[in-house]
Amino acid sequence: MPSWWGGARRSSPSWIERRPVTVDADHEAGGLALAMPLVALAGWVDALGVVQWHGLYASFMSGNSTALGAAPTVGDWHAAWDAGRAVLVFVAGAVAGELIGPAARAWRGPAILAAEAACLWLAVAAEHAGWGLPAVAGATGLAMGLQTAAVHKVGGTGIALTYVTGTLVSLGRGIAAALRGTAPWRRALPFAGCWLSLVAGAAAGGLVARTAPGGALGIAAGIATAAAVLTSAGVAGRRRALAS
């Protein structure tokens, strides 16, 4: 019974106390190892929005939402339509990811990443077929929406895979807690790592988009495919270990 109910606090059995520590540690290591490359992938894809798509983003929905509201004030209804469509497609991808994940159970990560990779390969096909920016950006935005469901938390703290505003807030809070002495500095490191991953991914994606415009999306699709394969191998290995 909780102490604030007035009852005596009873100690939990040792197996109850030990189990969360092990699970959290494993979840933090595995989640961070997956989150950082995916955040870099989001930066890579959004660099295409800056370099090739006239400011239309596949994962940065704050930017698209701002364009949706501001573009009509200068009479740019085409930009508003593009931004609104990007937001709708992204949300559809997020919904799909949250439906796929629970249905896939233990294979949540691999299933979501496989769907993301399929959407990115569709975007590659649309680009090479000349279907136009709406098709290319739409398939890419759907992929980024799906990605949001791949990892929800790292070490018990929520983590975003397609934007870093909340990540920077968490980084600031982690630094403040470390300065107060209420938390170790290492608690802030995952957030710094995710921010740096997005910046590095954006720099690399922007460079490739400028020097080899036709290959940037293909590389993004390849990264998502590799992530799906590696997470599948990880899940299969854990299941074999549990069965033995």
pLDDT at 6 over 60: no
- Residue 91 counted as domain residue: yes
Window from 27-36, 69-78, 230-239 with minimum mean pLDDT: 27-36
pLDDT at 28 over 50: no
CB 217 within 8 A of CB 136: yes
3-state secondary structure at position 158: strand
* pLDDT at residue 22 in the model: 31
Between 45 and 152, the more confident residue is 45
- Residue 242 counted as domain residue: no
pLDDT in tens, 141-178: 999 999 999 887 766 667 788 888 889 999 999 999 99
CB 97 within 8 A of CB 145: yes
| Paired strand residues for 153 | 158
CB 42 within 8 A of CB 164: no
* The two three-digit tokens of residue 11, written as one number: 């100690």
- Residue 36 counted as domain residue: yes
Q: Which CATH number characterizes residue 64's domain?
A: 1.20.1250
Window from 24-28, 116-120, 211-215 with minimum mean pLDDT: 24-28
**Chain center to CA of 21:** 25
pLDDT at 2 over 70: no
Span 91-113, average pLDDT: 95
**Chain center to CA of 206:** 19
Global pTM reads 0.84
Between 40 and 244, the more confident residue is 40
Count of structural domains within the chain: 1
- Residue 194 counted as domain residue: yes
* pLDDT at residue 159 in the model: 78
pLDDT at 17 over 70: no
Between 67 and 23, the more confident residue is 67
Span 92-101, average pLDDT: 97
pLDDT at 124 over 60: yes
pLDDT in tens, 200-221: 999 999 999 999 988 999 999 9
Determine what percent of the chain is predicted with pLDDT higher than 90.
73
CB 85 within 8 A of CB 189: no
Determine what percent of the chain is predicted with pLDDT higher than 70.
86
What is the C-alpha to C-alpha distance for residues 82 and 136, in angstroms, rounded to an integer?
12
Domain carrying residue 165: 25-232
* pLDDT at residue 155 in the model: 61
- Residue 3 counted as domain residue: no
- Residue 225 counted as domain residue: yes
Q: What is the mean pLDDT of the chain?
A: 87
- Residue 1 counted as domain residue: no
- Residue 11 counted as domain residue: no
What is the C-alpha to C-alpha distance for residues 226 and 222, in angstroms, rounded to an integer?
6
* pLDDT at residue 78 in the model: 94
* pLDDT at residue 30 in the model: 55
What is the C-alpha to C-alpha distance for residues 167 and 57, in angstroms, rounded to an integer?
19
Helix, strand, coil: what percent of the chain each, to 5?
A: 80, 0, 20
CB atoms within 10 A of CB 239: 12
